[in-house]
Amino acid sequence: MVRVGFVPGCVVFNKVVERLCEKGEVEKANVMLSVLMDKGFSPDDVTYSLLMQGYAKKDEVQEVLKLYYEMEYKRVNLGLSVFVTVVRCLCRCGKVEEAERYLRVMRERLVALDASVYEELASLL
C-alpha cells in the first residue's frame, strides 16, 4: 500500500497491527508503524495498545514501557486498556511493585479501574 502512495487510516492500520501481533510478528508491525509515521501517519491509542499487547504476550516489558512513555510524550490518550496491558505485563514478569506504581498513576489520572486489573493482581497471591 505504502509503495504505491496509499497511507492507510487508523482503522485499516490497526487491523493489520492486530493480525501481525496475533501471529507473533510485533516487531514487523512496529517497523511498519515507523515507515508509515515517516509518511505522515499518526497512530492513535488503539495502535499503541495493540503493539503493547503484542510485546506483552512475549513478556517484553521494556518494549511495553517504551511505548507507554512514547504515548505519554506524544500526549496520546492513556486509557484503561493501556494501563491494564502495562500492569498485566509487569505482574507476569514478577515486577509487582512497579505494577503498583502504574496503578497509582492510573488513579491519579482518574482512569477508572475495572475488575480485570484486580483479578490480575489477585492471581499473583
pLDDT, one tens digit per residue, over 50-59 is 999 999 999 9
Would you say how long the chain is, in residues?
125
Whether 4 is covered by a domain: the verdict is no
Q: Which CATH number covers residue 61?
A: 1.25.40.10
Tens of pLDDT, residue by residue over 28-80, are 998 988 888 888 888 888 899 999 999 999 999 999 999 999 999 999 988 88
| Helix then strand then coil, % of the chain, to nearest 5 | 70, 0, 30
User: Model-level pTM?
Assistant: 0.81
pLDDT at 5: 52
Whether 93 is covered by a domain: the verdict is yes
C-alpha distance from residue 42 to each of 22, 39, 108, 113, 116 (Å): 22, 9, 27, 27, 29
Average pLDDT over residues 9-19: 86
